[in-house]
């Protein structure tokens, strides 16, 4: 098992992803690049998450040092074929939470590593069971937790995760924003192949 990693760049401003990588014992620095996150309309949800993660990684190909590895990720929430991104405002957050209320949805995180000019990408999916939320619950959450930086307008680690999520199937950390078990396993694979 590899426990010493080459220099790692995390291309994410998400404090949740940063915290998860720290908890994994991986030293990293954060470097951000502007990337167009649009995607072809014909892609399936899992393909969208991987497509965007790959685009984020590709942005580093010309600036990466020989021994550095870039980690990028993109998390989406999908229900009934719809891809739910980050809410634009309170009304949009309310609309998204209304779509999720009392239903099951999928949280998909696409992850890409750029190492030695090669991209290795994968995704992880978690099924989330939401109980029905009253309008009062939705407004309480939106006004107190301001979920505008979160796909699907919620953070499982916040109040709503305790009060509204009945159960999940899959990785909890995937819902937070980074499927840490898969990340660790996939890092082991690509570093063993160097």
* Residues 105, 108: Cα–Cα separation, whole Å: 10
Residue 109 confidence (pLDDT) above 90:
yes
CATH classification of the domain holding 162: 3.90.950.10
Q: Residue 7 corresponds to which tokens in the numbers above?
A: 């220099």
For residues 17-43, average pLDDT: 93
**Residue 2 located in a structural domain:** no
The catalytic position among 34, 74, 135, 149 is 74
Whether the Cβ atoms of residue 108 and residue 49 lie closer than 8 Å to each other? yes
Q: How many domains does the chain have?
A: 1
**Residue 144 located in a structural domain:** yes
- Provide the pLDDT for residue 187: 92
**Mean predicted lDDT score pLDDT of the chain:** 94
92 is catalytic: no
**Residue 130 located in a structural domain:** yes
What percent of the chain is predicted at pLDDT more than 90?
84
Tens-digit pLDDT profile for residues 133-167: 999 999 999 999 999 999 999 999 999 999 999 99
**Residue 77 located in a structural domain:** yes
| pLDDT category of residue 63 using cuts at 50, 70 and 90 | confident
**Residue 3 located in a structural domain:** no
* Residues 119, 131: Cα–Cα separation, whole Å: 38
Q: Which domain holds residue 164?
A: 8-192
Residue 1 confidence (pLDDT) above 80:
no
Residue 120 confidence (pLDDT) above 90:
yes
**Residue 1 located in a structural domain:** no
Q: Residue 85 corresponds to which tokens in the numbers above?
A: 């991104």
């Amino acid at each position: 098992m590899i426990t010493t990693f080459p220099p790692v760049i995390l291309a994410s401003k998400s404090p949740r992803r940063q915290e998860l990588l720290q908890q994994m014992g991986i030293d990293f620095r954060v470097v951000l690049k502007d990337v167009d996150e649009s995607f072809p309309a014909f892609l399936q949800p899992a393909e969208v998450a991987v497509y965007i993660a790959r685009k984020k990684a590709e942005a580093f190909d010309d600036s990466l040092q020989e021994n550095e590895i870039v980690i990028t990720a993109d998390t989406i929430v999908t229900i009934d074929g719809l891809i739910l991104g980050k809410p634009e405002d309170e009304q949009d957050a309310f609309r998204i939470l209304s779509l999720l209320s009392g239903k099951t949805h999928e949280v998909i995180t696409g992850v890409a590593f750029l190492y030695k000019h090669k991209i290795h990408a994968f995704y992880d999916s978690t099924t989330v069971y939401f109980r029905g939320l009253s309008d009062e619950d939705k407004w309480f959450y939106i006004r107190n937790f301001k979920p505008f930086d979160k796909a699907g307008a919620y953070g499982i680690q916040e109040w709503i995760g305790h009060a509204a999520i009945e159960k999940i199937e899959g990785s909890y950390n995937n819902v937070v924003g980074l499927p840490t078990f898969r990340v660790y396993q996939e890092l082991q694979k690509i570093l063993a192949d160097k």
